[in-house]
Amino acid sequence: MKRFNVAVVGATGAVGEEMLRVMEEVDFPVNKLVPLASARSAGSEIEYKGEKVKVKELTEQVFDEEEIEIALFSAGGAISAHFAPFAVEAGAVVIDNTSHFRMDPEVPLVVPEVNPQDIAAWKNKGIIANPNCSTIQMVQALKPLEDRFGVKRVDVATYQATSGAGKSAMEELVMQMKDFFAFKLDESEHKKFPHQIALNVIPQIDKFLDNGYTKEEMKMVNETKKIMHKNIEVSATCVRVPVLRGHSEAATVWFEKDITAEAVREALYNGENIVVVDNPANGEYPMPVMVVGKDETYVGRIRKDIYRDNVAHIWIVADNLRVGAATNAVRIALKWIEMEYEI
Ligand SMILES: NC(=O)c1ccc[n+]([C@@H]2O[C@H](COP(=O)([O-])OP(=O)(O)OC[C@H]3O[C@@H](n4cnc5c(N)ncnc54)[C@H](OP(=O)(O)O)[C@@H]3O)[C@@H](O)[C@H]2O)c1
């Protein structure tokens, strides 16, 4: 079986580290692994399959020098904007975790459980985009429902973990909790979030736009339509909560047909990489602590609306660093290999 020279750009970050872990677990066909980061981390070491590998500095030339064939990017939008074209020029396929290329009509935006066929369009620009973490887990749950009942509209409120904003954001929550126990929370700093996140919830993720929604909320709106190839109405309220890992979403889904809670539950049972945990009588439903390190999206609290026969309410939880980023990117890469090399 062919093995590939793989670069992980942002290998020292929250998503990059998880990407390496997922690659190890699935025994990704690596010939040579090249972890890349900024000059700050160049020379440090990461461990891959029990061996130490030196982190190199991301440069314009490194993809050519290392003969990279697959480049997984997660070092921020500006980094992808500048360096992804050099990786493509060197002959690599780029799988990009940032928002930079997502809405480019020539770049496929892929969740392998939903629109794997779109990967074929990678040839347009040599780039495949990974959606926003909140979008990925939502469309995974929507896909089996769309197939069975037709989805018209989704109203969703998210409860997003601090790791969604990177390693330093997780540290900010931990520091503020320490300060709380030292009775000096009022002196605690906040840099990553617009307000104190410990013992708080913040109804703002990213910047506000002219329409009153945030950029994060509009990502869920626009990306859902692109991935599902359908003009589904989406309205989102994205909220940061003091959780380290695992995004939760309360979604109200409007269907083209009437539903029963049982039929919705059954459709979700058959969804790809969906786990249904829905036994409220025993206090069983998905929670962030339950999904850490998992590669599936968990769904529960499935119920029909009190007033309308074509509306259901569901609760969707997934590990944002894995399902919402690393696992999705690695699954895209594996599908790309399968399609290009007919393996
Ligand atoms: N966290 C999530 O749930 C999530 C989900 C989907 C997508 N994403 C996206 O993935 C990207 C990374 O997120 P993250 O959470 O992993 O952030 P992070 O923990 O802050 O890590 C950032 C990574 O980028 C590297 N980097 C920063 N500036 C660089 C530069 N000038 N040149 C080369 N490398 C540079 C850092 O390397 P150093 O060690 O050298 O600083 C580090 O490896 C972001 O665009 C984010 O939007 C994140």
| Pocket perturbation via mutation, ligand 1, pick of 96, 97, 322 by most ligand atoms within 8 A of CB | 97
- Determine if ligand 1 sits within 6 Å of the CB of residue 196: no
Clarify whether 133 is annotated catalytic: yes
Q: How confident is the model at residue 343 (pLDDT cuts 50, 70, 90)?
A: low
Domain co-membership, 76 together with 147? no
Residues 6 or more apart whose Cβ sits within 8 Å of residue 175: 188, 189
- Determine if ligand 1 sits within 6 Å of the CB of residue 77: yes
Say if CB 240 and CB 206 are below 8 A apart: no
Domain co-membership, 80 together with 205? no
Structure confidence at residue 144 (pLDDT): 98
Say if CB 297 and CB 268 are below 8 A apart: no
What pTM does this model have? 0.97
DSSP-derived 3-state class of residue 114: coil
Q: For the domain that residue 49 is a member of, what is the CATH number?
A: 3.40.50.720
Query: For the chain, what's the residue count?
Result: 343
- Determine if ligand 1 sits within 6 Å of the CB of residue 97: yes
Percent of the chain clearing pLDDT 70 (strictly above): 100
Domain co-membership, 188 together with 260? yes
Domain co-membership, 152 together with 286? yes
Q: Rounded to the nearest whole angstrom, what is the distance from the C-alpha of residue 10 to the centroid of ligand 1?
A: 5
Domain co-membership, 10 together with 52? yes
What the block records as the tokens of 341 is 């090399």
Question: What does the pLDDT look like over 4-48, one tens digit per residue?
Answer: 999 999 999 999 999 999 999 999 999 999 999 999 999 999 999
- CA triple 149-151-155, angle to 5 deg: 135
Domain co-membership, 258 together with 172? yes
- Determine if ligand 1 sits within 6 Å of the CB of residue 10: yes
Q: How many domains does the chain have?
A: 2
- Determine if ligand 1 sits within 6 Å of the CB of residue 75: yes
Ligand 1, residue 40: give the atom nearest the CA.
40
Domain co-membership, 336 together with 300? no
Q: For the domain that residue 248 is a member of, what is the CATH number?
A: 3.30.360.10
Q: How confident is the model at residue 277 (pLDDT cuts 50, 70, 90)?
A: very high
- Mean pLDDT for 216-243 is 98
Distance, in Å, from the CA atom of 66 to the CA atom of 79, rounded to the nearest integer, reads: 19
- Determine if ligand 1 sits within 6 Å of the CB of residue 16: yes
CA dihedral 14, 19, 21, 24 (to 10 degrees): -170
Domain co-membership, 275 together with 158? yes
Question: What does the pLDDT look like over 77-119, one tens digit per residue?
Answer: 999 999 999 999 999 999 999 999 999 999 999 999 999 999 9
Distance, in Å, from the CA atom of 278 to the CA atom of 300, rounded to the nearest integer, reads: 4
Q: How confident is the model at residue 342 (pLDDT cuts 50, 70, 90)?
A: confident
- Mean pLDDT for 129-135 is 98
Question: What does the pLDDT look like over 148-183, one tens digit per residue?
Answer: 999 999 999 999 999 999 999 999 999 999 999 999
Q: How confident is the model at residue 211 (pLDDT cuts 50, 70, 90)?
A: very high
Q: Rounded to the nearest whole angstrom, what is the distance from the C-alpha of residue 102 to the centroid of ligand 1?
A: 17
What the block records as the tokens of 140 is 């995974």
Domain co-membership, 249 together with 279? yes
Clarify whether 229 is annotated catalytic: no
More confident residue, 64 or 186: 64
DSSP-derived 3-state class of residue 290: helix
Domain co-membership, 39 together with 170? no
Say if CB 306 and CB 263 are below 8 A apart: no
Structure confidence at residue 1 (pLDDT): 83
82, 100, 247, 313: which one is catalytic? 247
Domain co-membership, 94 together with 205? no
Domain co-membership, 148 together with 211? yes
Place of tokens 């309360």: 250
Distance, in Å, from the CA atom of 266 to the CA atom of 276, rounded to the nearest integer, reads: 9
What is the residue-wise DSSP string for 6-23? Answer: EEEETTTSHHHHHHHHHH
Place of tokens 């906040």: 190
Distance, in Å, from the CA atom of 249 to the CA atom of 173, rounded to the nearest integer, reads: 21
Q: Which domain holds residue 37?
A: 4-132+325-341
Distance, in Å, from the CA atom of 193 to the CA atom of 39, rounded to the nearest integer, reads: 26
